[in-house]
Amino acid sequence: MEGFTWNIGDKIVNSRLIIGSALYPSPKIMVEAIQASRAEIVTVSLRRQAAGDKDGKEFWQIIKDLKINVLPNTAGCHTAKEAVTTAMMAREVFATNWIKLEVIGDQYNLQPDPFELVKATKALIKEGFEVFPYTTDDLVLATRLVDAGCNILMPWGSPIGSGKGLMNPYNLEAIRNRYPNINLIVDAGIGKPSDAVQALEIGYDGILLNSAIALANEPVIMATAFKNAVNAGVLAKQAGMMQKKELASPSTPTIGTPFWHND
Amino acid sequence: MSELSVVVNGKKTILTQGLNLQQVLDKQGYKNEQVAIALNETFIARSQYQNTLIEANDCIDIVAPMQGG
């Protein structure tokens, strides 16, 4: 649908939802949920694999069969060096220059390490990567990443897997207002469809989520709910929302109202 | 034939001396697997496997696609 077209990382997709591939009850449910979400970008990862282990191979075949874009991540990395090495390995295995750059600085809330994140970003952009940096909602950090050459920023709504939604909409809006031409994606913390609607209503270009769908009681139904939520948010932003007012004003015309009180 | 000790995916492994990365992959059972390699935490491109000789105490990480968020 034309209104949902999104130019991201030199590709055009028709959904503003980026979906994760982890935590589903089964591979079958993962496939059904991804298809129901209509997402055209799915996140994947790399892990050590023992020789002869078929799990990784089977998983990758399932993802390839979906025929959508893959966005590899650097989950688990704590230094720029680890993240750069992981990104290089991901580029070779997944045959894409896209990388969801995660450099974790705190094990408790999985907050990105801003210093290592910027260092890794600079190194990867130099190597020709399209960096999707998982960052906080800090405006100065956003500026450092844009200065490093990022076309995309992915501030958190709240900590990964917390489902707490957008904890600081003010900060997220500040980044939106400062960088109107950067692709902004809320990554992490989305817990329910209304969080996704909110992100798009404040002008974010997309959302990235995993747990909110994979950990729902019915992931496939939740995937449909998020598909509709994301579309609603995009349309609401396009339509332009009414201004808030301090006082009530009647929506039904008052002229000709019977029993009108003139006194 | 002399041997050397390396670490493959965190496990101590004894290999024949003089092997390159491609030979290590084949001997460890990764033939034709879609994997990528870091040698001592540095990425080694597939095109360089045959030119990269393994030395004692090397740490080899062999990774493959996995679910991720």
User: For the segment A128-163, what is each residue's pLDDT rounded down to a tens digit?
Assistant: 999 999 999 999 999 999 999 999 999 999 999 999
Distance CA A185, CA A172 (A): 10
pLDDT given for residue A51 in this prediction:
83
Mean pLDDT of chain A: 95
pLDDT above 70: residue A205: yes
Which residues span the domain enclosing A165? 6-239
Tell me, which fold does domain B3-63 have in CATH? Ubiquitin-like (UB roll) (3.10.20)
**Rounded percentage of chain B residues whose pLDDT exceeds 70:** 100
Cross-chain residue pair A44–B10, CB shorter than 8 Å: no
SS3 content of chain A, % helix, strand, coil (to 5): 40, 20, 40
Cα nearest neighbour of B46 on chain A: A92
Cβ-Cβ contacts under 8 Å between A and B: the total is 104
- Cβ atoms B38, A89 nearer than 8 A: yes
Three-class DSSP labels, A62-91 = HHHHHCCEEEEECCCCCCHHHHHHHHHHHH
A21:B36 CB<8 A: no
Residue A249 lies in a domain: no
Number of domains in chain A: 1
Question: Does a structural domain hold residue A257?
Answer: no
Pick the closest to residue A152 from A171, A164, A135 (CA basis): A135
Token digits of residue A46 = 């790399």
Query: Which residue does chain A place closest to B69, by CA atoms?
Result: A20
**pLDDT of B29 above 60:** yes
Q: Show me where the domains of chain B are located.
A: 3-63
Tell me, yes or no, if A59 comes closer than 8 A to chain B by beta carbon. yes
Q: How confident is the model at residue A262 (pLDDT cuts 50, 70, 90)?
A: low
What mean pLDDT comes out for the span A10-20?
A: 97
Model confidence pLDDT, tens digit, residues A186-204: 999 999 999 999 999 999 9
Please indicate whether, in this complex, the C-beta atoms of A23 and B67 are within 8 angstroms of each other: yes
Distances A82 to A27, A77, A88, A101, A158 between C-alpha atoms, Å: 29, 6, 10, 11, 24
Q: What is the CATH number for A126?
A: 3.20.20.70
CB contact under 8 A, B36 and A93: yes
Q: What mean pLDDT comes out for the span A232-248?
A: 93
To the query of whether residue A244 is one of the catalytic residues in this protein, the response is no
Judge whether A129 is closer than 8 Å to chain B, CB to CB: no
User: Considering the domain boundaries, does residue A72 fall inside one?
Assistant: yes
pLDDT of residue A55: 77
Indicate if the pLDDT at residue A260 is higher than 90. Answer: no
pLDDT band (50, 70, 90) for residue A79: very high
Is the pLDDT confidence value at A2 over 60? no
Distance to chain A for B60, nearest Cα, Å: 10
B14 inside 8 A of chain A by CB: no
b/e burial code for range A247-261 (CB count within 10 A of at least 16 → b): eeeeeeeeeeeeeee
Percent of chain A at pLDDT exceeding 90: 89
Q: Find the residue in A nearest to B30 (Cα).
A: A51
